[in-house]
Amino acid sequence: MTPHIRIEGLTIAYEKPREGGTFIAVAGFDLDVPRGMFVTIVGPSGCGKSSVLLAIAGLTTPSAGRVLVDGEVVTGPGRDRAMVFQEFALMPWRTVVENVRFGLELQRWRGEDLTARARRYVDLVGLQTFEHYRPHQLSGGMRQRVGIARALAVDPGILLLDEPFGALDAQTREAMGDELLRIWEQNKKTALFVTHSIDEAIFLGDLVVVMSKSPGRIVDTIPIDLPRPRAIEIMDTSPFVECRRRIRAGLGSEASHA
């Protein structure tokens, strides 16, 4: 059976605008993601983990290698993939429910009341009493709930989350991870979640991909066999601690080479 997402030798290089030459963000990245799996990618900042996500989203063109979704090569954005951004990327002039409608409008959804559909997803992330608020009136955690609702509303097969909780404080971050899992358990979409938090990566993922810095390569992939649904307490169990130790080792050995 073909994997839902197959990444083959993905290499992404950027031109350096100032000093010239090229910067290799990602080098020879291979990964197969089965349908319904929650994959987390963890690594230091600047290791190209976000670039991998942008390539899957079709928002950046690989310099070499390719990304296949359901066996088809990705050449641009598609209705089968939706993205959640670290900086939320909500339209400040739109209300909560209008922001959730945004993706539906752009994808030209027909034959159903878009506002009613948007409202259902606003309810799903628990913002029903805030649906007419503007983003600037919301806390960071609430804004990212809007971002998640916007992505889910277009019913994508694949959810791409680019450090979605990176701009939140530690407590909000834990609560949001918990909330994300609750929502994800309901339909188990294929998810790729980029983070620099080791604990977050283990807590959320079925598989943790550990990346090294410049050029970004995979140094380890660790299956996480912790039972679901998961609760915060799981972070104190010995399998979790063992995973944490292994990831640290992967990142650490990389650091000592640098």
Q: Which residues bind other proteins (CB under 8 A)?
A: 57, 59, 77-79, 81-83, 85, 87-89, 91-93, 102-103, 105-107, 154
Residue 154 or 219 having the CB closest to other proteins: 154
Min dist CB 70 to other proteins, Å, is 17
Residue 190 or 212 having the CB closest to other proteins: 190
Alpha helices, DSSP H only, in the chain?
49-57, 96-106, 114-124, 140-153, 170-187, 198-204, 238-257
Residue 64 or 106 having the CB closest to other proteins: 106
DSSP 190-226: EEEEEES-HHHHHHH-SEEEEE-SSSB-EEEEEE---
Residue 20 or 92 having the CB closest to other proteins: 92
Alpha-carbon distance of 55 to 11, in angstroms, equals 10
Min dist CB 57 to other proteins, Å, is 5
Alpha-carbon distance of 102 to 158, in angstroms, equals 18
Cis peptide bond N-terminal to 156, omega within 30? no
Min dist CB 241 to other proteins, Å, is 36
Min dist CB 11 to other proteins, Å, is 21
Alpha-carbon distance of 172 to 251, in angstroms, equals 26
